[in-house]
Amino acid sequence: MDIQTLNSKYALAGQLTFTEGKGFFPMAVIENQFAKCEVSLYGAQVLSYQPKGQQDLLWMSDASMFQAGKAIRGGIPICFPWFGPHETDTQKPMHGFARLLTWNVTETSTLVNGATQLKLNLNNKPVTLEMWPFPFEAEVVVVVGDTLEVTLSYSNSGNKTFVCSDALHTYFNVSDIANVSIAGLTGTKYFVGPDKDKVYTQTEQLLTIQKEENRRYIDHTGDCIIEDTGYNRKIRVVKKGSKVTVVWNPWDGAKNMADMLPDGYKTMICVEAVNAYNNMVSVNPGQSFSVSTIIGVV
């Protein structure tokens, strides 16, 4: 739909409008009593969530590419139907195709508590079946209130069971990575990057980032708290339907990334709700699965 049609069908007076964002991607702009939020229909990707009186909780790369066929670096990318590189074909897009396609708006509403809800939908199409031969229906629900809740749901509309992985790949905005610590991971087993053969257990009470980190915490379902002394705030990261938590900061690796400035790593940290590795998702015909992340200032 064009912007005019989107607004005529789905705008909410005083709360939600559609506009043309960077790269000419259609974007929903939500502003209510709690926060301001921007959601790109390309990728069903939340780009910004700024509670009243706060710095934005989400980080966006100043070098991010807003181009069709390219991922947007920042916000909350949707990873589906695989997380990371494809297991057998590295020519297929990193983190799946969901973040590279434009999703359809299906519903907007104001909830009883005053929060604003946006629903987006993506179904299989020839381009997806070429990369992943399974019929599916996916939905992203964004609820903007005193917290931000993002839920990815997907169902199997075919006649064969499929196995997939997923992630809500959240980039958090921080004052400086030197000011940041993360609580909630003590005693959890993890491996680093793709090397699943070496498993470690976190012993420190607070994780601080002093180098490149790419920790994949397995069998972790609890909350995390990101404390940022520079912004004098704590962000609670709650998740549902996820058994893996990924903590990532590229550090010096940012200089090798075309869509991140060399010092971009200093103001971001990813804490992601993931299902992958030993916690893949198996969905039988007619069944569905969902994963959520809920973020807010403590």
Amino acid at 117: Q
What length does the chain have? 298
Both tokens assigned to 45: 């990707």
Tens-digit pLDDT profile for the chain (298 aa)? 899 999 999 999 999 999 999 999 999 999 999 999 999 999 999 999 999 999 999 999 999 999 999 999 999 999 999 999 998 998 999 999 999 999 999 999 999 999 999 999 999 999 999 999 999 999 999 999 999 999 999 999 999 999 999 999 999 999 999 999 999 999 999 999 878 889 999 999 999 999 999 999 999 999 999 999 999 999 999 999 999 999 999 999 999 999 999 999 999 999 999 999 989 999 999 999 999 999 999 9
* Alpha-carbon distance values, 135 to 74, 209, 287 (Å): 28, 41, 12
Dihedral sign from CA coordinates of 253, 293, 46, 68: positive
Backbone φ and ψ of 130, nearest 5° = -65, -35
92, 108 in Cβ contact below 8 A?
Answer: no
Collapsing DSSP states into helix, strand and coil, what is residue 139? strand
Q: Which of 38, 139, 213, 272 is catalytic?
A: 272
Question: Using CA atoms, how far apart are residues 53 and 41, in angstroms rounded to an integer?
Answer: 26
49, 58 in Cβ contact below 8 A?
Answer: yes
The domains found in the chain, sorted by start residue, are: 1-159+166-172 (2.70.98.10), 174-281 (2.70.98.10)
227 among known catalytic residues: no
272 among known catalytic residues: yes
Question: Using CA atoms, how far apart are residues 219 and 243, in angstroms rounded to an integer?
Answer: 5
For the full predicted model, state whether its pTM sits above 0.95.
yes
**Tokens 């994963």, residue?**
291
Question: Using CA atoms, how far apart are residues 135 and 157, in angstroms rounded to an integer?
Answer: 5
Closest CA to 45 of 93, 99, 95, 92: 99
Both tokens assigned to 163: 């196995």
Q: Which of 95, 169, 213, 220 is catalytic?
A: 169
Beta-carbon contacts of 134 under 8 Å, excluding residues fewer than 6 positions away, are 81, 124, 156, 158, 160, 162
Both tokens assigned to 81: 């139907």
Helices (H), 79-208: 126-131
Closest CA to 235 of 222, 247, 249, 224: 224
Amino acid at 87: E
